[in-house]
Amino acid sequence: MNDLPTKISLGTATPGGGFPLYGDAAAAAVNETDPSLLVQARNTAGSAENIRLLEEEALDMALVAGEPAYEAFAGIGRPTSNLKIIAAIYSSPGMFAVRGDSPARSVRDLVGKPIAWGTRASGITLLGKYVMDGLDLDREKDFDPHFLEKAADGPVMLAEGSVAAQWGAGIGWPGFTAITKAGGRLIGLTSDEIEKIRTRHNFLKPIVVPAGSYPGQSEPIQAVGSWSYILGRFSLDEDVAYRFAKALDFAHARLVERVEQGVETRPENTLAASPDLQRIHPGVLRYLTEKDVGSID
């Protein structure tokens, strides 16, 4: 009889970003909840590399932001991917952060300025490309773009004054937390800007960042964004996916204790945020059906 736990490799991203924070928390929470699983989080270059590693079966599961997942599912600039959704983990509203002494109050105020967009492989960085395109702006031509080696470099560059703003996404995103704790501010979008972006890219959804989500944030902020996922390789065993989905659900309180974004990691959000049922892993679908979270035909 084999009593060894089933190992699951989970790709995250570069240190200092939201994916490693979430991935480490999810791994610990699942491992505590189901000792038959051993989830091992692993730093990677981010969403783009995670998709490649999953397709090469070098990872079992990985965190992938909504925009690169959308491109992979739709076959934009690449063949259509057969990766499967294990869980929708949290929504990611895209915003800029500036220092407290910055005169900038809107996206247009940042045109021509040096911007830390994040790492090249990050889904957050790709979100910035889509949002700017929706505003008829080019991320690399209409700004002075800085692409990072590590996500944690951006807040340091902003503090030093080598960039005018940091692009990022999410509620509880570590980079924004560091900036706002130091007195920085967040810049979102106007209603007109959101409407314009969604006319061109309707897969992006309006998201309101509640007041108090970050230190010193006294007003809600309007933004657009998408859901980030845990994706699984196509050949991942159905029973393993089922056990993971069940453990992640049962571990919800433990997850939220470790990372506040985990509050959105619920089975009903996985169902709602999936483009279609065929994109959800069969093992996860089995758990969603068992839990009776919604209409699954």
Mind listing the pLDDT tens digit for each residue in 243-265? Answer: 999 999 999 999 999 998 899 99
Whole-structure pTM value: 0.81
**Segment 84-118, tens digit of pLDDT:** 999 999 999 999 999 999 999 999 999 999 999 99
45 touches 13 (CB < 8 A): yes
What is the average per-residue pLDDT within 45-63? Answer: 97
Residue 1, pLDDT above cutoff 50 = no
Write out pLDDT tens, residues 162-201. Answer: 999 999 998 888 999 999 999 999 999 999 999 999 999 9
Which amino acid does the sequence have at 11?
Answer: G
6-90+228-291: in CATH 3.90.226.10: no
Give percent above pLDDT 90 in the chain. Answer: 89
Identify the residue whose tokens are 């560059």. Answer: 157
CA atoms within 13 A on the CB side of 9: 12
Extract the tokens encoding 269. 């959000």
Give Dmax over CA atoms of the chain in angstroms: 66
DSSP string, 177-233: HHHHHTT-EEE---HHHHHHHHHH-TTSEEEEE-TTSSTT--S-EEEEEEEEEEEE-
Q: How is the chain split into domains, by residue range?
A: 6-90+228-291, 92-226
Angstrom distance (rounded) from CA 139 to CA 244: 38
Per-residue tokens: 282: 């069969």
Q: How many CB atoms lie within 10 A of CB 191?
A: 9
Homologous superfamily (CATH) of 92-226 is Periplasmic binding protein-like II (3.40.190.10)
CATH topology agreement for domains 6-90+228-291 and 92-226: yes
Which two tokens mark 62?
A: 């990985």
